[in-house]
Amino acid sequence: MERKTTTYERILYHMGNTSLVYFAFRIKIKGTISKDKLEEALLKVQQKHPLAGVRVIMAGDKKQFITTENVPRIPLSEFNGDEIDWKTVVKDELCNPFDIFKGPMIRVFLINRENISDIVVIFHHAICDGLSAVVFLNDLFLFLSNPLHKLNAFTEAFTLTELIKQDILDIIKTRGLPGWMKKGNKPELKPVKKEPIRKPDFAIHDWFFTEDDTKKIILFSKKNNVTVHSILSAAFLKSFAQEFGPEEGYKRVLQSPISFRPFLVEEAKNYFGLFNGLIEVGIDCSPEKTITEIAMEIYTKFKEQLDNYDPLPGYYHFNEHFLEGIEDPELFFSNRPDQPMNYDFSLSNLGRIQIQKKYGQYEIEKIYGPIFSAIRGEKVISVNTHQGRMFFTCIYDKNCFDTRIGRTLIRRALDKIKDIK
């Protein structure tokens, strides 16, 4: 397989070469996993999903391609669980750049201890999003538990723009270019000195909700006609407002990755790729505002955008038109001004993920992810719901604030969630 990269992929490859654009999953499994068997399963997943085994090619005319030709197998390293823990692996590997011209864009780590195994997977964000990572993990465990499981390999690495449902695509095309593209985006191009990638000192917090607590949140959201995502976002925004509002103001900003899969053809749910976007909303979190009121405002603002298919049109036109007339995209990307990090945190909620409780002899006990490489002052909270329980991580550079503040922000939010009735 060989194809041209999309603008979305290309800018993420560029960003990954100048900073850190990666994310991780950690899976805790009951049972000891053989490295040899895991290697065999990884090879089959790589054979099934083209993007799981690609490298970048730069042509002489500055065109960029990805190919599966001459790409090594997904590397697997094994550790003794008595000597290292999963958080150490995640912190180190989120700071370890990928060689995009060699590939692949995935690294896997097996941490074994008595009757318990941890699998840590690091993904380059240019090849996939969090939900696609779940597709990868599900296939990995299917092949691990049953080596004879049918492969059904895909021959193409599908892109976002070619999978949009036709009726939605027709609407997008009638709207024309978004305003931010009409204003022009051509800075003066100057040579840029390549700087070494700064390696953050990450703090990672993890926790989970019991089945009863998870059900309580679901029931509360249904009762109040909002989403679980809105309730969780409201609790954390309220906590950030309590900490920083007195000095900075009580209008706080939330960012959330959102899946474009509802706008794509049905079979896209089975594909491994990059099919998400970002939404930001500003919310009044004054002291008198309740969690329910804040959640309703979040829900309403998200719904308004998604009902309008936003922000999909921006991503479509970005891929189709952003590099028109640009002879050297990497130089162009390097000369663009840095975008300020103007939101309190990003909440990445995968919802109920399609991972089984058991795959043959292997029982999935916990799943944490996606855990993103939080840079430029980002604070990223991730949640997925597996077998009726919510699993959370919070990651940030310790330069943002002391871990004591991080723990306080989380504790306050959790107290607010526990108080809902």
Please check whether residues 59 and 177 belong to one and the same domain: no
Percent above pLDDT 70 for the chain:
98
Range of the domain at 402: 166-364+374-418
| Sheet with 2-4, side-by-side order of all strands | 2-4, 64-67, 55-58
Q: Answer with the one of 102, 118, 151 that is the final residue of a domain.
A: 151
Please check whether residues 257 and 386 belong to one and the same domain: yes
Please check whether residues 136 and 177 belong to one and the same domain: no
Q: How confident is the model at residue 194 (pLDDT cuts 50, 70, 90)?
A: confident
238-285: pLDDT as tens digits: 999 999 999 999 999 999 999 999 999 999 999 999 999 999 999 999
| Cβ–Cβ under 8 Å, residues 367 and 26 | yes
Section 2-17 average pLDDT: 96
Q: Which residue has the higher pLDDT, 181 or 32?
A: 32
Please check whether residues 214 and 327 belong to one and the same domain: yes
Question: How large is the angle between the packed helices 211-223 and 403-418, nearest 10 degrees?
Answer: 60
On whether residue 369 sits in a domain, the answer given is no
Q: How confident is the model at residue 335 (pLDDT cuts 50, 70, 90)?
A: confident
Please check whether residues 272 and 139 belong to one and the same domain: no
Please check whether residues 57 and 174 belong to one and the same domain: no
Question: What pLDDT sits at residue 183?
Answer: 61
Identify the CATH number of the domain in which residue 39 sits.
3.30.559.10
What's the pTM value of the predicted model, to 2 decimals? 0.96
87-116: pLDDT as tens digits: 999 999 999 999 999 999 999 999 998 889
The three-class DSSP label of residue 275 is: coil
Please check whether residues 107 and 41 belong to one and the same domain: yes
Please check whether residues 199 and 299 belong to one and the same domain: yes
Number of domains comprising the chain = 2
Q: Which amino acid is at 395?
A: I
Q: What secondary structure letter does DSSP report for 344? A: S
On whether residue 144 sits in a domain, the answer given is yes
On whether residue 156 sits in a domain, the answer given is no
18-59: pLDDT as tens digits: 899 999 999 999 989 999 999 999 999 999 999 999 999 999
Torsional class of 176: left (φ above 0), alpha (ψ -120 to 50), beta (otherwise): left
Torsional class of 316: left (φ above 0), alpha (ψ -120 to 50), beta (otherwise): alpha
Please check whether residues 177 and 65 belong to one and the same domain: no
Whether residue 180 is predicted with pLDDT greater than 90 in this model: the reply is: no
Q: How confident is the model at residue 185 (pLDDT cuts 50, 70, 90)?
A: low
Identify the CATH number of the domain in which residue 264 sits.
3.30.559.30
Mean pLDDT of the chain: 94
Percent above pLDDT 90 for the chain:
86
Residues 94, 397: Cα–Cα separation, whole Å: 12
Whether residue 315 is predicted with pLDDT greater than 90 in this model: the reply is: yes
